[in-house]
Amino acid sequence: MILKHITKILLLTVPLFFCGCGSLIKQPAPIISYYQLDYTPEISSNALVDKTILIKSFYISETYNSDAIIYSVGKYKCNYYPYKQWISAPQDQVTKSFRRDFMKSGAFKGVVIPGQLQKPDLIFSGAITEIQENIKDKKASGTVKINVTLSTPASKTNPQEIIFQKSYEQEVDCEINNTVSLVKALSEATKRISANVIQDVVDAASNP
């Protein structure tokens, strides 16, 4: 009789033991996909400004200072994709793109980056206030918003002077609802803003 009770206890305990061990088995880590902004710059200015310009590193709003791609559903709900991430910080990608675009425009005597010894005639700074996917009525779009400031550097006799400040916004519809299409839309939005910014900077620098 005692043997039968022991047998029953063992039969009940063994499956529970293996169930417990199953939770300790290491599950495969989820695959993280990485994305980057990519576009061919739109060169719209043929004017030549006989000045050098410093392109400072972009600032980004704290909300978007993340490797994860952000999305918004309607006006009030916002979240992020934990396994769909930027290959590098979005502000670094936008900074790199703008510096390339300013150089390729050929509109300035020179494009300077922080750390170079050459003193610029103009200083350009930008801040990303939004870079995200917007989902509305089951349709997705990519939105980029950027504030920029163009100024002259301070000297011994003159303080830094702001030439102009302006906000730019572009929203581009996604062709289909997936991440690649979203990144293409964000790239196109950045491209359009960059072209508009360069034209405005050229106009402002040509007409002091």
pLDDT at 184 over 60: yes
Element (H, E) at 56: none
Question: Which pairing describes strands 122-136 and 59-60: parallel, antiparallel, or unpaired?
Answer: parallel
Q: How far apart are alpha carbons 138 and 115 in whole angstroms?
A: 46
Q: Which pTM value belongs to this model?
A: 0.84
pLDDT at 193 over 50: yes
User: How does pLDDT run across 51-86, given as a tens digit for each residue?
Assistant: 999 999 999 999 999 999 999 998 889 999 999 999
Whether residue 69 contacts residue 85, with contact meaning beta carbons closer than 8 Å, is answered with yes
Instruction: Tell me the C-alpha to C-alpha distance, in Å, between residue 200 and each of 91, 157, 186.
Output: 21, 27, 21
**How many CB atoms lie under 10 A from the CB of residue 26?**
5
Confidence class for position 46, pLDDT limits 50, 70, 90: low
Fold held by 33-206:
Rossmann fold (3.40.50)
Would you say 197 and 125 are in contact if contact means Cβ atoms under 8 Å apart? no
Both structure tokens of 49: 């400004």
> Which pLDDT belongs to residue 137?
87
Range name among 10-24, 53-67, 73-87, 186-200 with the lowest pLDDT average? 10-24
Whole-angstrom distance, CA of residue 120 vs CA of residue 112: 7
Nearest C-alpha neighbor of 102 from the set 36, 167, 163, 56: 56
Query: Average model confidence (pLDDT) for the chain?
Result: 87
Per-residue pLDDT of 100-150, as tens digits, reads 999 999 999 999 998 877 889 999 999 999 999 999 988 999 999 999 999
Model confidence at 17: pLDDT above 70: no
One-letter amino acid at 31 equals I
pLDDT bin (cut points 50, 70, 90) of residue 44 is low
> What is the rounded distance in angstroms from the CA atom of residue 187 to the CA atom of residue 199?
19
